[in-house]
Amino acid sequence: MIRRLLIANRGEIALRIIRACRELGITSIAIYSDADVRGPHTLAADHAVRIGGAPAIESYLSISNVVDAARSSKADAVHPGYGFLSENAAFAKACDAAGLVFVGPPAAAIERMGSKIAARTLAIGAGVPVVPGETPSDQSDSGLLAAVEKVGLPVLVKASAGGGGKGMRAIRNSADAASAIQAARREASAAFGDGTLYVERIVDHPHHVEVQVFADSHGRTIHLFERECSVQRRHQKVIEESPSPILTQALRDRMTRAAIDVTKAAGYRNAGTIEFLVEGSNFYFLEMNTRLQVEHPVTEGVTGLDLVRAQLLVAAGESLPWRDADVSQRGHSIEARLYAEDPSQGFLPQAGRLTRYREPHLPGVRIDSGVVEGGEVTVYYDPMIAKVIATAESRELAINRLVAALRAFRVGGIRTNLPFLLRVLDSDAFRRGAIDTGYLDREGSAFAEATIGDGDAESLERPGSEPADEERRKVPSAFDPWNGVAARAPSVRQPPARRKRASSDGHYILTAPMPATVIKIPVKPGDTVQKGDLVVLLEAMKMELPLRAASDGVVAEVRCEEGELVQADAALVELR
């Protein structure tokens, strides 16, 4: 029995776990960094423990700090949520060594399936088809280049550890192969502490369909049907739904059977997801996520089941709380991820204060968020603001409900992808279920043109100049105390930081578009650069931000250092 649970995460998933704890009578213990002292999850839990500085590496990614927090708070179990340490086998082992119940799979299963290379081998052994590829033992640039040549272009170079599109690069031109390999390795090392890569053939125009699986320690392994996740940008999911609009019942049966076979072969326990690429009537095993997924609410929407509650029960040694007869797929559920990012600026992540944040309250609509009005979207973590989930008896009605909910959202102070989501949902390709995994990367520019201020919804910020400080202070509360009716708060428009700043003598300076960490400076004073050359590589909010020369020139001065945290609009490199 679990009595005191430490939640090794933040934001909306931490709040979701806290709610489940309350229903089961479990004491919830939050952890927080210096950036989350007043975070919603910090305030909502029964107890909260500080674990370090704002950077994730000093707090949420520190195994020793998290385990120490569990010990000091007398927790008997740890729930990792998703992201951060959720798929880290060393963390699961550390919890076991400290006598803590890990709410997730055994460390050995995380290790086995956390390596994409090992997972491919296991799937093949279970008789499940995989995407053709190579897993070179020689991890040098030359070894990976040889693997790319053997598989044949176009290919994906992918991180063996982790997921979420991190450490992944597409190679369609041999001239780009070396730089793509280096970028993938660098990103994988930064995100997962493991730069191991493998090469996989690109499947043209596939759909991405995943199967939710669940196993207990009493020999039961079940599936909870599929989720369609093809609406993605740069391998990051944007919209997810269940059931998939492209699956026949025969194909669904084959894929769910394969998902269970892989899960059993992995010696798995608790919630997990088996991901597939679907091409016509064929499907290929892609990977296993050894954790709860961000998009799990759509599965809850069509099954009526509580996955987080079941996670806690199974971790405590109980059997799965559902009989086979209890599990069925009813109606349709769809989720959109609302992000602090600017589609018109290449989806540049945004950071700042939410001067206004009002969630819609509509029938059939669920909002999972970890932010509040007046709170900060920080540079240190993922820029997701909320997940908006709509459930109805048909796909068409679920989409319409989601559109209505997004239009009713009120967000001010930072730019978001809300207009982008609305345009995708309203597109003919989406309505027909015809969007494949590469669609938004090929056609997304038309959707990305929409940005805050173009009037797609009342929640969008209006174009105009930056308001004076006096105007900022006039933002009203949700209700007007003179007449007692809802008041509309004026929005604050924050223009993006400039990528270059010209000087009177013809020099220009590359500046940081937002607070970020300097990852790489491949130039030095006196170097000649050509238009488009990489000058500075930044990282912010889990995303690499390359700054390139706007024209041919010479590096006059470098004003930053690798590893340095720079503020928005900080001068980085001067060119002439």
252, 291, 337, 356: the catalytic one is 291
Q: Do 350 and 341 form a contact (C-beta atoms < 8 A)?
A: yes
Residue 505's H or E segment, with its range, is none
For residue 227, what are the β-bridge partners? 210
CA 563 to chain centroid, in Å, comes to 24
Report d(CA 295, CA 563) in Å as an integer: 33
- What are the backbone angles phi and psi of residue 388, rounded to the nearest 5°? -110, 120
Tokens 């919830």 belong to which residue? Answer: 28
Enter the tokens of residue 369.
């968020």
Report d(CA 221, CA 256) in Å as an integer: 11
Task: Report how far apart, in Å, the C-alpha atoms of 193 and of each of 57, 61, 90, 278, 435 are.
Answer: 11, 10, 11, 30, 33
- Minimal CA–CA distance to 35: which of 19, 17, 51? 51
Q: Do 226 and 242 form a contact (C-beta atoms < 8 A)?
A: yes
Q: Where are the alpha helices (DSSP H) in 99-168?
A: 107-114, 116-125, 141-151
Tokens 């499940």 belong to which residue? Answer: 128
Annotated catalytic residue 356 = no
For residue 274, what are the β-bridge partners? 211, 288
- Minimal CA–CA distance to 460: which of 427, 426, 485, 423? 423
For residue 289, what are the β-bridge partners? 273
Q: Which amino acid is at 460?
A: L
Give the other-Cβ count within 10 Å of 142's Cβ: 11
Q: Collect all residues with Cβ–Cβ distance below 8 Å to 189 and sequence separation of at least 6.
A: 167, 195
Q: Which residues of 34-50 are buried (b: 16+ CB within 10 A; e: fewer)?
A: ebbeebbbbebbeebbe
Q: What is the three-class DSSP state of 95? A: helix
Query: DSSP states of 381-400 as a string?
Result: S--EEEEEEEEESSHHHHHH
Give the other-Cβ count within 10 Å of 158's Cβ: 26
- Minimal CA–CA distance to 99: which of 80, 82, 79, 78? 78
Handedness of CA 344, 350, 355, 359 (dihedral sign): positive
Cis peptide before 525 (omega within 30 of 0): no
- What are the backbone angles phi and psi of residue 101, rounded to the nearest 5°? -75, 125
- Minimal CA–CA distance to 297: which of 220, 383, 365, 207? 365
Report d(CA 34, CA 49) in Å as an integer: 11
Give the other-Cβ count within 10 Å of 423's Cβ: 19
Q: Do 273 and 210 form a contact (C-beta atoms < 8 A)?
A: yes
Catalytic residues: 291
